[in-house]
Structure 1
Amino acid sequence: MILEKKNILFLRNKDMENNKIDNLENEIADPNLQDELIHEINEENKRNPLYKRLAIGFAVLLVVAFGLTWFLTNPPKEAYSGVTDFLETIFNKDLIGYLIVGLLAQMVDGALGMAYGATATSFLVSIGVNTMNASASIHIAEVFTTGASGLSHLKFGNVNKKLFKNLLIPGIIGAVLGALILSLLQKGTIFSEDNVKNYIRPVTMVYTMILGIIVLRKALVKVQVKNKITKVTPLALVGGFMDSIGGGGWGPIVTSTLISSGRAINYTIGSVNLAEFFVALSSSLTFIIFAGLDPGLWQVIIGLIIGGIFAAPFAALLVNKVKKKPLMIFVGCFIIFLSINTLLKIAFNIDTFKSLATGITNLF
């Protein structure tokens, strides 16, 4: 009887806490008035050791994903007999460059909730990796780096579990559908990946540029947002689909939309990053099964993974410690810059991001 009463009281308290968080999320969005929401979600995260369970799940999924990828791209005999040769081709001086690229790309993505693909692609192309191989490597590496990033955000209290759960399933469905459609289109030689990107990316970038302006305005001017996005399922579905079929879009579409609608910036970035692991895993496995993977890309992939995993905790700590208003200003400016750069690249073949990446890599 006593135990039953304790359980009833626990459930009532939990419902009250969840209602309090929901009510705070529905209040007028203002970076200066979100401290109470941040405190409530931190307390809720501490009471529920979700990150420990997710850590075990991540570890199992990563091992399964790596093993499945390896054996799908290598016959069993070669997989066992070529281990020594494989290690020699991976761990040499070329790995350092890919490791630095992974570190820089994950710092950007973990801190801003977007642009891992854009950052990594620009740096990889600048050091001699062709665009197609860069794209394939990034999709696989993202599975590992987003896992590390998501766990780091969870540990530092940057995750709203309710938002994460609402993003998870529709994001996975969208990612699988996008990867499946793109793989089938390529196999049937109806459209190339470049054709799809050239039609989809301009529309996406105009959309994200507008969102960037909204985020920047919200940080600089006290704007009262009365209609916050509460139904994130369609947003996650579109974000996952665009990320697979358009070569990127989960962060720019989902993160930008949620922040521009008034959600707390650190919880948006953390929750979107955590969900991105499952989105990346789903799309990568779909691509591998239906389109295959070049075994020669493992050095690039492993370099990106090591660098990204090393950077993930620092990026999550940065999001947790930096004040919300400066972070919103930086995120808004970065969204606008990324959108304009992509539009210039499509229209005039001008890539300022690549030029910047080349300049940085020349320093090394």
Structure 2
Amino acid sequence: MESDFMLFAAVGFAAQLVDGALGMAYGVVSTTTLLAMGVSPANASASVHAAKVFTGAASALSHALHKNINWRLLGLLASGGVLGGVAGTYLLTSIDGDRIKPYVVAWLGLMGLVILYRAWKGVRPKPFSWKSPLPLGVAGGFFDAVGGGGWGPVVTSTLLGSGADPRKAIGTTNAAEFFVAAAVSAAFLSALLSGHWETEGLRDHLSSVLGLIAGGVVAAPLAGWMTKILPIRALTWFVGVLVTGLAIWQAVVLFL
């Protein structure tokens, strides 16, 4: 419907601006919004990753033109992310949506808390060294596929917490996300065509996906400019509160 398209165009635009400025939050914001509208975890993840193929390409091109990419780091992160993303997709499409939704909501809530922690402290403890980006990419890709968001909070936060150059960390993570989104989308399609994943209602979200794509593609070239004019810490607080609040709301709906 036109109303869904316009709503998700606005969501996609805002989420991509934030993602470009912080190196995270497009998938988390988009997925929590879809879950709040009653979409199953697998359908939400498939929809968001389909949109991220297009928004990720636009974002990667923008960062490449602005020379914000470390190409060696990109190759290692993308390789690990593809492996983790495909594995996460297989797990997500193997489990009933109602059974896994509480865990997905809990993961998104955790990501919201991670973002809030970054807003409070400005850094995040490093679970991996940025000098070993392949396992970091695997972890980020896996949780991104299962939760529909998590690539940025896991990868960007770890790189920044490990002392990487912020401009290179954000630009490289955003560029690598394109390859992860493409691999996850291909894995969802393969699972659907092979009969491994049987789903209903995916077509009903087409207008939402198109809205996410339209809003995100328009916003992607503006991300570099936004980093120069917006107070990043205040923006981080806003996203953390939004994501955590949506996750708490979903938990209340699920358990009460």
Give TM class, smaller chain: 0.7 to 0.9
Q: Structure 1 residues 298 and 217 mapped into 2: Cα distance closer, same or farther (>3 Å)?
A: closer
Structure 1 equivalent of residue 75 of structure 2: 165
Structure 1 equivalent of residue 203 of structure 2: 295
Partner of residue 12 from structure 2, selected from 102, 105, 120: 102
Q: Structure 1 residues 208 and 237 mapped into 2: Cα distance closer, same or farther (>3 Å)?
A: farther
TM-score normalized by the length of structure 2 = 0.78
Q: Structure 1 residues 114 and 216 mapped into 2: Cα distance closer, same or farther (>3 Å)?
A: same
The SS at the match of 1:299 is helix
Take 2:49 and 2:111, find their aligned partners in 1: how far apart are those partners?
23
Take 2:212 and 2:14, find their aligned partners in 1: how far apart are those partners?
10
State whether structure 2 residue 152 is matched by structure 1 residue 251.
Answer: yes
Q: Is the 8 A contact 2:108 2:147 kept in 1?
A: no
In the alignment, residue 147 of structure 2 is paired with which amino acid? G
Take 2:136 and 2:103, find their aligned partners in 1: how far apart are those partners?
20
State whether structure 2 residue 141 is matched by structure 1 residue 231.
Answer: no
Partner of residue 344 from structure 1, selected from 216, 241, 248: 248
Q: Give the gaps of 5 or more residues in structure 2.
A: 194-198
State whether structure 2 residue 183 is matched by structure 1 residue 282.
Answer: yes
The SS at the match of 1:118 is helix
Q: Is the 8 A contact 2:45 2:145 kept in 1?
A: no
Q: Is the 8 A contact 1:161 1:271 kept in 2?
A: yes
Q: Is the 8 A contact 1:99 1:305 kept in 2?
A: yes
Superposition RMSD in Å: 3.3
Q: Structure 1 residues 167 and 347 mapped into 2: Cα distance closer, same or farther (>3 Å)?
A: same
Cα displacement (A) at 1:347: 4.4
The SS at the match of 2:52 is helix
State whether structure 2 residue 210 is matched by structure 1 residue 306.
Answer: no
In the alignment, residue 90 of structure 2 is paired with which amino acid? L
TM-score normalized by the length of structure 1 = 0.57
Structure 2 equivalent of residue 146 of structure 1: 56
Q: Which aligned pairs between 1:45-124 and structure 2 lie closer than 5 A?
A: 95-123=5-33
Describe the superposition over 1:5-31 as per-residue Cα deviations: whole angstroms up to 9, x where unpaired: xxxxxxxxxxxxxxxxxxxxxxxxxxx
The SS at the match of 1:166 is helix
In the alignment, residue 103 of structure 2 is paired with which amino acid? Y
The SS at the match of 1:131 is coil
Partner of residue 198 from structure 1, selected from 102, 110, 116: 102
Please say which structure displays the higher CA radius of gyration: 1
Q: Structure 1 residues 237 and 312 mapped into 2: Cα distance closer, same or farther (>3 Å)?
A: same
Cα displacement (A) at 1:113: 1.6
Q: Is the 8 A contact 1:214 1:260 kept in 2?
A: no
In the alignment, residue 302 of structure 1 is paired with which amino acid? L
Cα displacement (A) at 1:119: 2.3
Q: Is the 8 A contact 2:119 2:234 kept in 1?
A: no
Cα displacement (A) at 1:173: 0.6
Cα displacement (A) at 1:239: 0.7
Q: Structure 1 residues 93 and 182 mapped into 2: Cα distance closer, same or farther (>3 Å)?
A: closer
Cα displacement (A) at 1:339: 6.3
The SS at the match of 1:305 is helix
Structure 1 equivalent of residue 143 of structure 2: 242
Cα displacement (A) at 1:203: 5.9
In the alignment, residue 182 of structure 1 is paired with which amino acid? L
Describe the superposition over 1:237-260 as per-residue Cα deviations: whole angstroms up to 9, x where unpaired: 011011112322111111112112
